[in-house]
């Protein structure tokens, strides 16, 4: 009983001492050694390592280019590639577009025309090159006997774009957008397997060759994806600069000569 009485007396004495300290305004305990509060604050702000508490680290953000490359590689047909593009949710342009603009013309065509991106009319109809620029494109290629409605591969055209969704306000595609959609473009070309690719504008020139400067490059045959590539100015540029149509006609004649070899 003596031990119990001593414990009870010590407890009451400690409680009385604590009450006195609270009434006296004591709000913290003084330790045997000083405490660096700044160091404690810095330590508390550091993220806790997941491995230290046995929790898996958060997943690394997915790489949209790698995802696009994997999805494109799995497509064994144009229909499958279109479905893969429709399922690709890593491009913000998709959220603001009405339609996926995939392609137009004959997949058996010897000539594939690669444009930049849909405009407002293309977005509404879901087909590439249907506005004023598209009408000019049709007249240009008709002058050398080629048409998107042609059934004979020798006289047919196949038309697609680097971007399948319209950029807001018809702005230029951004480098990140071109990069993430390039695997689909490359797979698209592989599935169609054209004899010649015509790139119209800076965006497709960049997507296939890594170069820009369409006014310097136009009319000069290049090589990309193991195929001959002819850069040309975009029909929209020709509408703004009619004097450039003479150079475009020279490019069309160069294309015709290449096809007639």
Q: Could you list the mean pLDDT of each consecutive 10-residue stretch along the chain, which spans 261 residues?
A: 52 66 61 59 52 45 90 98 97 95 98 96 96 96 97 96 95 94 98 98 96 96 97 97 97 97 86
Give the burial class of 248: count Cβ atoms within 10 A of its Cβ; 0-12 exposed, 13-18 middle, 19 or more buried: buried
> Does residue 13 lie within any of the structural domains?
no
For the chain, the C-alpha Rg in angstroms (whole number) is 34
Residue 261: per-residue pLDDT = 86
Residue 164: per-residue pLDDT = 98
Residue 58: per-residue pLDDT = 44
* H helical segments located in the chain: 2-24, 37-45, 64-74, 78-87, 93-96, 120-125, 132-142, 175-192, 202-209, 214-217, 235-240, 245-259
Residue 7: per-residue pLDDT = 47
The DSSP-derived string for 179-227 is HHHHHHHHHHHHHH--SEEEEESHHHHHHHHS---HHHHTT--EEETTE
The token pair at 69 is: 């490359």
Q: Give the alpha-carbon dihedral of 38, 43, 45, 46, to 10 degrees.
A: 150
Residue 22: per-residue pLDDT = 58
> Does residue 215 lie within any of the structural domains?
yes
Q: How many domains does the chain have?
A: 1
Domain of residue 254, residue span: 64-259
pTM of the model: 0.76
> Does residue 68 lie within any of the structural domains?
yes
> Does residue 45 lie within any of the structural domains?
no
CATH number of the domain encompassing residue 116: 3.40.470.10
> Does residue 209 lie within any of the structural domains?
yes
Q: Sign (positive/negative) of CA torsion 195, 200, 204, 206?
A: positive
Residue 197: name the closest of 169, 233, 171, 231 by CA: 231
């Amino acid at each position: 009983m003596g031990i119990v009485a001593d414990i009870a007396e010590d407890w009451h004495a400690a409680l009385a001492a604590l009450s006195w300290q609270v009434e006296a305004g004591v709000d913290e305990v003084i330790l045997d050694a000083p405490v660096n509060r700044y160091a404690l604050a810095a330590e508390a702000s550091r993220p806790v390592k997941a491995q230290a508490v046995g929790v898996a680290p958060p997943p690394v953000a997915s790489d949209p280019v790698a995802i696009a490359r994997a999805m494109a590689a799995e497509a064994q047909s144009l229909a499958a590639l279109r479905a893969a593009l429709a399922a690709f949710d890593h491009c913000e342009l998709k959220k603001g577009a009405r339609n996926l603009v995939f392609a137009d013309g004959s997949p058996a065509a010897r000539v594939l025309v690669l444009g930049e991106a849909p405009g407002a009319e293309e977005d509404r109809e879901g087909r590439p090159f249907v506005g004023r620029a598209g009408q000019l494109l049709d007249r240009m290629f008709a002058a050398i006997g080629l048409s998107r409605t042609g059934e004979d591969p020798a006289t047919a055209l196949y038309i697609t774009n680097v971007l399948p969704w319209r950029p807001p306000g018809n702005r230029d595609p951004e480098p990140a957008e071109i990069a993430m959609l390039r695997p689909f473009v490359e797979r698209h070309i592989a599935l169609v397997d054209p004899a010649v690719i015509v790139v119209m504008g800076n965006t497709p020139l960049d997507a296939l060759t890594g170069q820009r400067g369409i006014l310097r490059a136009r009319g000069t045959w290049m090589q990309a994806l193991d195929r001959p590539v002819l850069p040309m100015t975009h029909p929209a540029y020709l509408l703004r600069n009619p004097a450039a149509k003479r150079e475009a006609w020279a490019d069309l004649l160069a294309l015709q000569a290449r096809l007639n070899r």
